[in-house]
Amino acid sequence: MPFIDTSALIALADRSDSHHEDAAAYLKRIPMAKGNLVTTDYILDETFTRLRLTIGLPGTVRFGEAIMRSALYTVVQVDGRVRREAWEWFKRYQDKDFSFTDCTSFVVMRALQLDEAFAFDEHFVQAGFLRVP
């Protein structure tokens, strides 16, 4: 079960994204089981904000509604513990340009023992995770 990052969600939603075809092909290979893709509320926030700027509000709402209705996604709420641990990641890796949202993703992945990130963001590799596709 992979963690799905903003970069993959944007690639799925935006047909003009350079990773769209790879993202769509990978999604078809994932078993369509309930909760099979894990993400966070921070990732959804980041995704919907960025999509609104690229594909517009109507497209973003259609994509967001599809995610909200889908049983395929498990959305983890970033709580105080995750924020504190993410802050430690953020401060510790001064040689990386991890965003704070990246750090919350890393903490959630470790807590849930997830090794794979459905992402096109090199930061997951830098943090020690396997990036797919």
| Sequence ranges of the domains in the chain | 3-132
Q: Are strands 130-132 and 73-76 parallel, antiparallel or unpaired?
A: unpaired
Contacts of 25 (CB under 8 A, 6+ apart): 133
pTM, entire model: 0.93
Q: Where are the alpha helices (DSSP H) in 14-133?
A: 20-29, 41-54, 56-69, 80-92, 100-111, 123-126
| Structure confidence by residue, pLDDT tens digits, 53-74 | 999 999 999 999 999 998 889 9
User: According to the model, what pLDDT value does residue 35 have?
Assistant: 67
- For the domain bounded by 3-132, which CATH number is listed? 3.40.50.1010
